[in-house]
Amino acid sequence: MELHILEHSLKVASIEKEGIQICAHGLIKLAFLASKTRCKFFSLTETPEDYTIIVDEEGFKELPQSDLISVADATWLALNVVSGGGNASSSQPIGVTKIAKSVIAPLADHNISVFMLSTYQTDFILVRERDLPMVMHTLSSEFTLLRVVNGETVAAHELGVSNGFIKPKLVPRPIIHPLSSPSNMFCVTSLDPDTLPSVATLLMDVMFYSGGSKEAGASGEDSTHIRFFSFSLIEGYISLVMDEQTAQRFPNNVLFTSASGELWKMVRIGGQPLGFDECGIVAQISEPLATADIPAYYISTFKFDHALEHQFHFVYLAQSVESLPSDWLINFLSTQITKREYL
Amino acid sequence: MSGSKPDILWSPHHPDLYVICDSELGLYRIGPVGGTETKPGTLSLSKETAATLLAINSDTPYMKCVAWYPKHEPECLLAVGQANGRVVLTSLGQNHNSTCKELVGKEFVPKHARQCNTLAWNPVDSNLLAAGLDKHRADFSVLIWDISSKFAPETSVAAEKIRLSFVDLDSSSVVTKPLYELGQNDACLSLCWLLRDPKLLLAGMHRNLAIFDLRNTSQKMFVNTKAIQGVTVDPHFHDRVASFFEGQVAIWDLRKFEKPVLTLTEQPKPLIKVAWCPTRTGLLATLTRDSNIIRLYDMQHTPTPIGDETEPTIIERSVQPCESQIGSFAWHPSSQNRMVVVSASNRVMTDFTVFERVSLAWSSTTSLTWACGRHLYDCVEDSTGGTEGAAETDIATKMRERAQSRYGHDTVQVWRNHLLAGGTDPQLKSLWFDLFYMKQCAEDQELKLQGNKQSVVYSGIKNIIKTSSGTTESRRCWSGSDRQADVPRFYSEERCLALRLCGWISRGPDINVETFLRSLEHEREWERAAAIALFNLDIRRAIQILNKGAMAENGDLNLNVVAMALSGYTDEKSSLWREMCSSLRLQLKNPYLCVMFAFLTSEAGAYDGVLYESSVAVRDRVAFACMFLGDAQLPRYIDKLTNDMKEAGNLEGILLTGLTKDGVDLMESYVDRTADVQTASFCMLKGSPGEVLKDPRVQCWIENYRNLLDAWRFWHKRAEFDILRGKMDPSSKPLAQVFVSCNFCGKSISYSCSAIPHQGRGFSQYGVSGSPTKSKVTSCPGCRKPLPRCALCLMNMGTPVSGCSGTGKSDEKVDLTRENKLAQFKNWFTWCHNCRHGGHAGHMLSWFRDHTECPVSACTCKCMQLDTTGNLVPADSS
């Protein structure tokens, strides 16, 4: 397997809900007028708490400076696992489930904090730039490491740091954060970039006016419903995550739907903000899921709170609605949980 | 191919059908313009062709790519790839074929929707349709569908059916299970089946090119590159593939797949289409966005490496099929170099044929060959000569013919050279007679003056006259007449020499032109003879000659009339005869008759009518001037005439200038006018060895003539010329450039046996005859160690080729200048200057007839290829 270290230098930022209007201009440019910017990596995720932006340095210039925007200090690099090379066994394609054991767990063992972004097309594992030597050292045994330089993929050389690494302590990783699962179902989809202009107004509505429409619709009676929407435009590929109801607002044949029309259940990790420095959160969840062979998406988001950097993790688990009730899932996970804190 | 981006596909089997696809599919038939009826809706594509719209298909929205079924039947079956990844089979026009009906409408749906980027039908197993899709995190991007697969029985695909229930489709025509799934977690941007093996599929993936083998799908060959768009195999060279990235095209050789064999110069705008010409090898057409030109790359020479160091060459050019910006183009599958182009904006189509490059080559012998497309044109000079009006033969042809007839090589009867030159050019005739007379005089003078005045002869009349002294004046009577002529005549030794050089008189003290007159009579030059007789004041002889001329076979009877007029000559100043003659003479056609009367009617010393009659040969005018112009007038006249001759480049002027710097000036203007370096070279070599040969112009002519002989492969002629030149100009002989030293003692092995500088000769002699000391010549004369061996017969150097009649052992002294060469060429010792292996020339020649490599085993030197002329044969026989 190949691990590609992509050339994007990424910034992760959080925009307060009330700050969205001052950023709207920049965000619209990044999302819908990609040809006007030199941005190649853009992701916007809305949660009930905030908007999380992942954007490369070119795209970051489009955003204004404001107290309502908080930016994580570190520069992040995106890793991408590709089943390239000669080893193209026609086994199941890999997702977070498969890379959990090979990437996420070893990084957690070495206390490397990761930030996950799953899209329709692939999974990105974000690591801090300063952790890169450690990451490469950790993963070099399992993967062919390749680095993308000016669009060309070249072999990455280890940065020569092999001393001073703490021997990983292979302790069992209990789930220590509370889990919650909202009742609404989500779909992960994409669309043809050529048709983007035709649904641009609808997407803007979903992105920026969600609060308003929700109140107007007054459909949000169900408190277990959660407001969640994600849009990403990465190297020309669009990926969307939205709930079923939002998806129905799109015209027919615009969204790419899977032949199976699968829907995903959300599990939210952490009742209170989780620190960036805390490691192994993804691993806690992904390992047991991988063991049970349950496919999953991850999207990490970021909440800045009083000089403390925190992050939330969301997990989406694929399941046929009828066959796997959410109770089962929680139960399944709860067997792994030592410190039970349900919400 | 969405709305703004049209594409064209030619029918694989119908040379007159093509499809344009943008938002819909349109089927067109192309045909000659202005048939019997001009149907409405016919679109003109070019001056000769027009297209008719046959059918439109707009059943499939969100088209991303289209591929035409490669087999004859069903004929208009198309596969359309859509934005959501589905592949739909559709057709255009009426088609009642049952297989077609069964297939049309069939859909192939991937598990996860994403854009279908490319489609490719397997050219052999036409049931296989490969589709390249964008990436999905949990799916494959290269799907190979089997279009003949029926919807499988219920049991095996129950699960599929449940999933399909979401997608409300007529499930009977939907296929969801591909035959092969390849390339997981990656996007596929372009696909093509390899022609060298129909089980191999080349795919342009996100960051690499991959070759999938359907017989073992877990294996793939791949190479990391950015150039992954538009992969396409050269139909004429199945290992050659083109792909592109933005503005750059990469050419790959599948046998050496690690890196591109070529990258073409980058274009400022991104490319949109790259296609090999199906009717012409190695021609690649490329199109960039927002452009109205198509760029063509001719890679004709690349597949065959000629020499070890030949770089592949590409010839780049561009064509502009139409004014507007081009949306797409497609080569015609069978018509040579033809393509149809569709404009980017409004579906304007143009039928266009790329004009083939013309390559042209001159041969060394005036013929011209050019190639265009599949035609080869040969243009040769009309050798029949044709009519009078036909252009004169090219000087190169003339020189070549003259070289073959050994022009310039007659060193005894020098005048005969003009006959060798064809005998038709009066200037050449005059030149060679001048040189002949000069030679005669020089030899004569040599006897008389012991050579000290030899160079005077060659310095020309102009210089001879200047040295004139002691001129005597005399008045002679008309011979055969008692009347006293009042014409003064001048004599001096120099004037006498000049007359000899003019050919009027021959050796001897007295001035007697009778021999010359006889020879002119013999050549039937009656008028000239009569004039010269008259100038020598023998009016009776002149009349006699004219009569003879009138009576001769085919003679001109008018000459009698002239004779009659002549006989009435009177020196009465105011006679009617004089008056009539001076005015009517101008009507005489023949210049000699004209000057005769001019002479008779002019006053003494005022002979302009004779001297400036340009139709009269220079030698006759000069001789006349020498006889009748005084010391004051003569040099002035000669100078003027010389300058005229120099300016005109008239070879008759050599008489005046001789072979001096003036002569070179004159020859220079002659060469400028005619490019006849041959005559110039030979002429300058005829004179006495002197300054003229050192003149850079003369050296230039000589070198050019030698080059010409080389170019014509007249190597024997060139050798003859060099020998002649060496005799005249010993400084031109090249010095020995190569000496062979003994491996052991380091002394030159030719030192003791030959004083002749030419190493070739030296060895030939060495090869057979004994050295003066009669020692065994297979060893070094210095140290007696053996000499190198011939690589083929393994005999030591100095041993003749076996089987050759061994004249070598004879003791006779050898004269190399003799005809019978003591050693035949095959006995010469020769070697490669690169690897230094060699042997007998005969052996080497026969070895290299069949080989290019050195005969010494383990030596890989390609000796023969290093010798550019080694494979040529001389065009002239020895």
| pLDDT at A169 (0 to 100) | 56
Query: Are B217 and A153 within 8 A, CB to CB?
Result: no
The phi and psi torsions of B864 (rounded to 5 degrees) equal -70, -35
Q: Please indicate whether residue B154 or residue A238 has the higher confidence score (pLDDT).
A: A238
Of B113, B207, B218, nearest to A257 by CB-CB distance is B113
Query: Are B85 and A256 within 8 A, CB to CB?
Result: yes
Region for B779 from its dihedrals, namely left if φ exceeds 0, alpha if ψ lies in -120 to 50, beta otherwise: beta
Q: Which of A119, A241, A258 is the best residue to mutate to test the B interface, defined by the most B CB atoms within 10 Å of its own CB? A: A258
| pLDDT at B190 (0 to 100) | 93
Query: Are B208 and A81 within 8 A, CB to CB?
Result: no
Residue with tokens 């990455």: A156
| pLDDT at B285 (0 to 100) | 93
DSSP E strands: which ranges in B405-502?
Answer: 472-475, 488-491
Q: Enumerate the residues of chain B whose CB falls inside 8 A of the CB of residue A93.
A: 137-140, 184-185
CB pairs < 8 Å spanning A and B: 111
Report the alpha-carbon distance of residue B598 to residue B588 in Å, rounded: 11
Closest CA to A177 of A299, A270, A105, A278: A270
| pLDDT at B221 (0 to 100) | 83
Report the alpha-carbon distance of residue A191 to residue B83 in Å, rounded: 8
Residue A68, pLDDT > 90, answer no
| pLDDT at B769 (0 to 100) | 42
User: Going by C-beta distance under 8 Å and a sequence separation of 6 or more, which residues neighbour residue A209?
Assistant: none
Q: Mean pLDDT for chain A?
A: 73
Q: Which of B2, B207, B220 is the best residue to mutate to test the A interface, defined by the most A CB atoms within 10 Å of its own CB? A: B207
Of B111, B185, B224, nearest to A259 by CB-CB distance is B111
Closest CA to B63 of B108, B22, B28, B122: B22
Query: Are B62 and A118 within 8 A, CB to CB?
Result: no
Mode of pairing for the β-strands spanning A264-275 and B208-213: unpaired
| pLDDT at B679 (0 to 100) | 92
Report the alpha-carbon distance of residue B301 to residue B662 in Å, rounded: 53
Query: Are B139 and A93 within 8 A, CB to CB?
Result: yes
Which chain A residue is nearest to residue B175, measuring alpha carbons? A259
Are the CB atoms for A292 and A328 separated by under 8 Å?
Answer: no
DSSP E strands: which ranges in B716-773?
Answer: none
Report the alpha-carbon distance of residue B870 to residue B848 in Å, rounded: 9
Query: How far from B33 is each of B10, B53, B802, CA to CA, in Å?
Result: 19, 14, 77
Half-sphere exposure of B473 (CA within 13 A, CB side): 9
Contacting A residues, span 32-51, partner chain B, CB-CB under 8 Å: none
Closest CA to A315 of A278, A340, A290, A339: A290
Helices (H) and strands (E) in chain A, counts: 10, 17
Q: Which of A117, A120, A238 is the best residue to mutate to test the B interface, defined by the most B CB atoms within 10 Å of its own CB? A: A120
Report the alpha-carbon distance of residue A301 to residue A281 in Å, rounded: 13
Alpha helices in B152-276, H assignment, sequence order: 158-164
Residue with tokens 């939210």: A268
**Structure tokens of B651?**
């070879």
Measured CB to CB, residues of chain B less than 8 Å from chain A are 2, 61-62, 83-85, 109-115, 134-140, 163-164, 166-167, 176, 181-187, 207-208, 217-220, 222, 224-226
Report the alpha-carbon distance of residue B51 to residue B29 in Å, rounded: 5
Of A81, A256, A259, nearest to B163 by CB-CB distance is A259
Lowest mean pLDDT among A23-27, A329-333, B359-363: A329-333
DSSP E strands: which ranges in B83-196?
Answer: 87-91, 107-108, 116-121, 128-133, 140-146, 174-175, 180-184, 188-193
8-state DSSP, A129: G
Query: How far does the CA of residue A85 sit from the closest CA of chain B (Å)?
Result: 7
Q: Enumerate the residues of chain B whose CB falls inside 8 A of the CB of residue A94.
A: 138, 184-185
**CB neighbourhood size of B405 (10 A):** 13
| pLDDT at B243 (0 to 100) | 94
Query: How far from B783 is each of B226, B747, B777, B779, CA to CA, in Å?
Result: 69, 9, 12, 8
* Domain layout of chain B by residue ranges: 236-342, 469-630, 825-866
Report the alpha-carbon distance of residue B451 to residue B456 in Å, rounded: 10
Burial of B563 (0-12, 13-18, 19+ CB in 10 A): buried
Query: Are A93 and B134 within 8 A, CB to CB?
Result: no
**Structure tokens of B35?**
């048939």
Of B113, B134, B185, nearest to A82 by CB-CB distance is B185
Q: Please indicate whether residue A59 or residue B98 has the higher confidence score (pLDDT).
A: A59
Tell me the per-residue pLDDT of A153-179, one tens digit each, with 9 for 90 and over: 777 776 555 555 555 555 666 666 667
Average pLDDT over residues A217-245: 76
Of B111, B176, B208, nearest to A84 by CB-CB distance is B208
Query: Are B166 and A261 within 8 A, CB to CB?
Result: yes
Q: Which of B109, B112, B189 is the best residue to mutate to test the A interface, defined by the most A CB atoms within 10 Å of its own CB? A: B112
Contacting A residues, span 79-138, partner chain B, CB-CB under 8 Å: 81-86, 88-90, 92-95, 118-123
Report the alpha-carbon distance of residue A205 to residue B859 in Å, rounded: 80
Are the CB atoms for B360 and B369 separated by under 8 Å?
Answer: yes
B700 alpha carbon, distance to own chain's centre: 22
First to last CA, chain B: 71
Report the alpha-carbon distance of residue B174 to residue B147 in Å, rounded: 10
User: Going by C-beta distance under 8 Å and a sequence separation of 6 or more, which residues neighbour residue A127?
Assistant: A76, A77, A79, A107, A112, A113, A114, A115, A135
| pLDDT at A330 (0 to 100) | 55
Q: Enumerate the residues of chain B whose CB falls inside 8 A of the CB of residue A81.
A: 185
Query: How far does the CA of residue A216 sit from the closest CA of chain B (Å)?
Result: 31
**CB neighbourhood size of B283 (10 A):** 23
Mean pLDDT, contiguous 10-residue spans, chain B (878 residues)? 70 88 87 68 82 85 88 84 88 71 84 88 91 85 86 44 45 79 85 90 88 84 87 91 91 88 86 91 89 86 50 78 88 89 85 85 82 84 55 80 88 86 86 88 65 68 80 69 67 84 75 83 88 86 88 80 81 76 82 86 80 88 88 89 92 89 91 91 78 86 91 88 84 73 74 43 42 53 79 77 43 42 70 84 85 85 75 69
Query: Are B113 and A259 within 8 A, CB to CB?
Result: yes
Of B61, B163, B224, nearest to A261 by CB-CB distance is B163
Query: Are A192 and B226 within 8 A, CB to CB?
Result: no
Give the pLDDT band (50/70/90) at residue A307: very low
Query: Are A258 and B111 within 8 A, CB to CB?
Result: yes
Alpha helices in B808-875, H assignment, sequence order: 841-850, 863-866
User: Going by C-beta distance under 8 Å and a sequence separation of 6 or more, which residues neighbour residue B285?
Assistant: B273, B274, B275, B276, B277, B294, B295, B296, B297, B329, B331, B339, B354
Of B62, B112, B226, nearest to A192 by CB-CB distance is B62
Query: Are A95 and B137 within 8 A, CB to CB?
Result: yes
Tell me the per-residue pLDDT of A93-151, one tens digit each, with 9 for 90 and over: 455 566 766 788 888 888 888 888 888 888 888 888 888 888 888 888 778 888 887 77
Residue-range domains of chain A with CATH: 1-158+172-210+224-342 (3.30.2130.10)
**Structure tokens of B310?**
């030949």
Query: Are B218 and A260 within 8 A, CB to CB?
Result: no
Of B167, B218, B219, nearest to A261 by CB-CB distance is B167
| pLDDT at A215 (0 to 100) | 44
Query: How far does the CA of residue A237 sit from the closest CA of chain B (Å)?
Result: 9
Of A93, A152, A260, nearest to B166 by CB-CB distance is A260
Q: ipTM of this complex > 0.85?
A: no
State the Cα angle at B384 between B383 and B386, rounded to 5°: 120
